[in-house]
Every structure is written in C-alpha cells, then in structure tokens.
Amino acid sequence: MTSSRLTSDQLVFANQGLVRAIARGIHRSLPPFMELDDLISYGQLGLMQAAQDFDADRGVQFSTFAYHRIRGAILDGTQQMAFFRRFTPSRQQYERMANDTLATNAADSAGENSSATSDQASWLQDSSAQLAVVFLLSHSAEDGRESPHLEDTAARAPIQGLLDDELKDKLHALIAELPEEARSLLQGAYFEGLTLKEAGERLGISKAWASRLHARALGQLARGLRRMQVADE
C-alpha cells in the first residue's frame, strides 16, 4: 500500500524508523545531558503533525515531507531542553508548586460540586493567574536564596532577565502586605528551599492547610498584580 492510501495512524506506525534515525543523527552532536529518548519523543510529535497535514495529491513522498517536520520538531525540543537546563532549580520548583496548586484547586472545586460552565471558566482563569505567580516567584527566587527577608529590598537578587525590575518590585511589595503566616510560608517554600510540607510544619500547620494557604496567597498576589496593572493603564 502506498503512502497516498495510508491513514494518518498507519503513516505514523510505518515511519517509526525514520524518527529514530533522525533523532540518533541529531543526538550525536548534542551535549550528554540530552537524552535520545527525549529527542525521539519530540520527533514523534513532528511525525504525527506531518501525518495529519500530508496531502498525497502534491506528488511528494511522505518520508520526504515528514523528514523536515520531524527534524524541526526535534531541534525545537532541544532548544527548550537547553533553555530549561539553565534554570533547572527554578523549573523544578515551579513544577512542584504548580502541581500542588492545581491539586488543591481541584480538590476545593470538587468539594463545591459545581458544574456550571461559568464556574469552570472562573476556576480556569483563577488557576492560570495563580500559576503565573508561581512562575514569577520561582524565578524571582532563583538567585534570591541568600535573602531570608522578602521585605529587604536591598538584598533581593535580579531575576536573570526573566522579569524586569518594576514587576519584581511590585511582586515583593505585594508579598510584604500578606498576612504574616502566608508571608512566612512563601518565604520558606520559595526562598529557603523548603517543601510546602516543611514550611507548614515550621508554622505548626498541616500539609493540607499549607497547600490551601499557599493557593490563597497566590490568588491574593495575582489580584494585586492585576490591580497594579489596571492602575498603570
């Protein structure tokens, strides 16, 4: 059966060898920390996209068409891997805190038993705003672990070009306005390398309560940043 008569799934299945061959060729010229399996995964995405977009009527062999999509997807993936390699601690912290925030929000939402579309949209909007703050905090703390006091402006470290000074100052000003318990929790979790459980134990609260306090503080910071943005417009 020619490629012009194969379904997208069949094209993907039939060209697994092409993905592996391209990935191996690129992998030989990359740093050791980049895993071949990761490259193959990126290549699979390119292959699936190629299978969906392929038009046999153009008179091009699928392998030729897919080659450039697969290679491009792998190269894009390696750029992302190289970028995150530079910010491994902040990336790990972001993933850990983001997962905890989403899990807490999902549990609270399930407890409310609300299925209205407007409520779901509000949940998504609020969660997205909270995750944005998690990102800012994670990268703000990348060089700031030597600063134990968030309110100490002189001791704050730059955010490695990811945030401008104005936004950084706004974030720290808002943190300083949080209740002491929430401020201490963020201090431990983002600037002292503690987990939420450890930061909560230091405050004498459970992991579940620390997660809720964390999510609530993120919401307050997100709303505060939004108010500042509106005021500046």
- Round to whole Å and give the CA distance between 81 and 204: 39
CATH architecture observed for domain 3-86? Orthogonal Bundle (1.10)
CA dist 47 and 41 (Å) reads: 10
Class of domain 88-232: mainly alpha
pLDDT tens for the chain, 233 residues long, are 455 567 888 899 999 999 999 999 999 888 776 788 889 988 999 999 999 889 888 888 999 999 999 999 999 888 876 655 554 556 677 778 888 888 887 777 655 555 555 556 676 778 888 888 888 887 776 544 444 344 443 333 333 344 456 777 888 899 999 999 999 999 999 888 888 999 999 999 999 999 999 999 999 999 998 888 766 65
Measured between alpha carbons, how far is 29 from 20 in angstroms, rounded to an integer? 15
Long-range CB pairs of 113-116, under 8 A, 24+ apart, other chains included: none
Q: CATH 1.20.140: which residues of the chain? A: 88-232
Whole-angstrom Cα distance, residue 3 to residue 55?
10
pLDDT of residue 83: 54
Neighbours of 221 (CB within 10 A): 25
Q: What is the pLDDT of residue 151?
A: 42
pTM of the model: 0.53
200: amino acid identity, one letter: G
Residue 154: per-residue pLDDT: 37
